[in-house]
Each structure stands twice: as C-alpha cells, then as structure tokens.
Amino acid sequence: MNPNILKLNYYLILNYINKDFYWCLAIPYFEYSGKQIFYQIKDNNSQKTLIFIHGSGGNSNIWDNQFYLNIDYNIIALDLPSHNKSNIFPVLSLDLYVDVVKKFADYLKPERLILGGHSLGGAVIQEYYFKYPNDVSALILCATGGRLRVSQFIYNSIKPNYQEYLNYLRVGSFYRKTSKKVIDNAILETSQIDPEVTYNDFKICDAFNALEKTSSINIPCLIICGKADELTPVKYSQYFHDKIKNSKLVIVKKAGHMVMLEKPSEVNKAIEDFIKTYFK
C-alpha cells in the first residue's frame, strides 16, 4: 500500500468548540477525474487490501461492522460516485463504478487485492474481475447475483414517492425479526441518497447480466446470502456456487438482503475463515 495515502489525501475539518479548543477530523479521499471519492479505511499496515463496495442507494457505512474483521489486510469501504460523501457525477454507469475502483486499486498497489461487494456492489466487483482478472485474488459476493433484475414496484416508487420505497425496504430488505434499530439506521442512510442516484443504481442492476461468464471466474469466491433474502434470493447465490469451481457458500439464517448489518458476527466469521482457508 502506498505509505503516503493517509498522509496526503485528507481534508482537515476544524470544528471549533470555543476560542481555545477545537477538534480536527480527517476525511480520506482520492481524486478521480478531478472529483473526490470518499473512503473509509482501517489501516493494518499491510501489503494486502480488502475493498468493500456498497449496493444501490447505499454508502460505505453499511460495512461498519466489517472494520472489526480480524485479518491481516487493510480494510477499505468506498462511497461510489454521487453517493454520500463522494462528489456528484453527471452520469452514473457500471463502467464508471468499475473504473473508480480500478484507479483506486492502482493507486494503492497492494500485493494482494480482495474485492467484496453487496448487491449492486457485487455486480461492480464481478465486472472488475472480468475486465482485470489478474488484479484480483478473491471475490466476496454478498447478497448479489450474476443477474440482478429489479421489480417494477421499485422503479415506480423511487422517483414519485421515495418514502414509499424506504418503507418497502423495511420489509423487503430485512428478516422479519431484525432489530428495529438496525433497520432504522439503514433506512436513514438510504434516505440521504438522492432518489435519482438510487434510481440509476437500480437501472444499472437491471441491465447487468453476467450469467454466461460466471463459470469463467477461476479465483476463490466467498458467497454470502441471507436465507430470508427476497431481493437476491438464495438461488442466486446457489447459482454462483454451482458455476464457480473454487467457491464457498454461506447461507446465514434469520437474515435478509442486508445480511452484513443483520448478522455481522456470522458474516465476519465467514470472511475470516475464508481468508484463512485460501490464503494461509
């Protein structure tokens, strides 16, 4: 990893409490086409890096629990363009998202790179692998699929009534007994994303179809899904497992589409075990 990344790429935000005291918050970012892309990092002073990519209408905060992973990797989560703290881009596309990750990975220059993606993020990391197979050592495919069809209800609700879409997520994205606090926090994060951005994310998902290329993935893959996932059902993950020779499938009980928020301990154990098994 570039030793200068933490030193050079920070905004310094001074928050004054009174005339004699302030605290300073450092916000990491990297530049892409003259714009700033926000990321969160747990720097373990490693030459190996794990980058997480969020799903439609999401941001890097969905991976907060994964910063507690006990692995010898630098752990990074990005805000994709136009999401949360990253700058706004006029046109969003799968190619843009992939290129942002590529430029960031090239900047970091890790000796080993693992990519993890949730839902739309899973499409991003699959496409990254198909374009740059020699860059990636493993994939973590979380609640995603080789094809990501989107229901018409989602399309019909996002623009005219974003609140209706957010209400739908409460039942569509979570296991019925997931704690209200977890759900409320996740909905709050999504509510802060521009509905147009979320809509475009789902358009990207709906157009994505890599089923015919799935069996060409020849690096280790960890496939994680919630047993109660209604948006990317278990059959999507089973398809990965059937087609990808070097893969491990973990189905998490009492979890839905937001499995990494609902069952963080199980997800983290799966990731830790996977890395220990394939990269001793």
Q: What CATH number is associated with residue 182?
A: 3.40.50.1820
pLDDT of 4 reads 30
Determine which helix (DSSP H) or strand (DSSP E) holds 158, and give its type and residue range: helix 152-158
pLDDT of residue 22: 40
Domain extent at residue 59: 39-278
Q: What is the pLDDT of residue 27?
A: 63
What pLDDT, on a 0 to 100 scale, did the predictor assign at position 280? 75
C-alpha 121/C-alpha 80 separation (Å) is: 9
pLDDT of residue 14: 39
pLDDT tens digits for 133-161?
999 999 999 999 999 999 999 989 999 99
Task: Tell me whether residue 144 is in a domain.
Answer: yes
- Per-residue pLDDT band for 211 (boundaries 50, 70, 90) equals very high
Q: Are 112 and 137 in contact (CB under 8 A)?
A: yes
33 assigned to some structural domain: no
Residue 26 predicted with pLDDT over 90:
no
- 60 inside domain: yes
The reply to whether 50 falls in a domain is: yes
Both tokens of 170, joined, read 């409460």
CB atoms within 10 A of CB 279: 15
Residue 201 has pLDDT above 90, yes or no: yes
Of 16-25, 229-238, 241-250, which range is least confident?
16-25
Residue 12 lies in a domain: no
Query: In the chain, pLDDT over 70 holds for what percent of residues?
Result: 90
What are the E-state strand segments in 3-153? 10-18, 21-32, 35-42, 48-53, 74-78, 112-118, 138-142
In a domain, 89, yes or no: yes
Q: 203 lies in a domain? A: yes
CA distance linking residue 12 with residue 63, whole number of Å: 23
| Number of structural domains the chain divides into | 1
- Distance CA(67)–CA(267), nearest Å, equals 12
Residue 121 lies in a domain: yes
- The Cα–Cα gap between 227 and 205 comes to 21
CB 56 within 8 A of CB 149: no
pLDDT band at 8 (very low <50, low <70, confident <90, very high): very low
Q: What is the mean pLDDT of the chain?
A: 91
pLDDT in the model for residue 15? 41
pLDDT at 23: 38
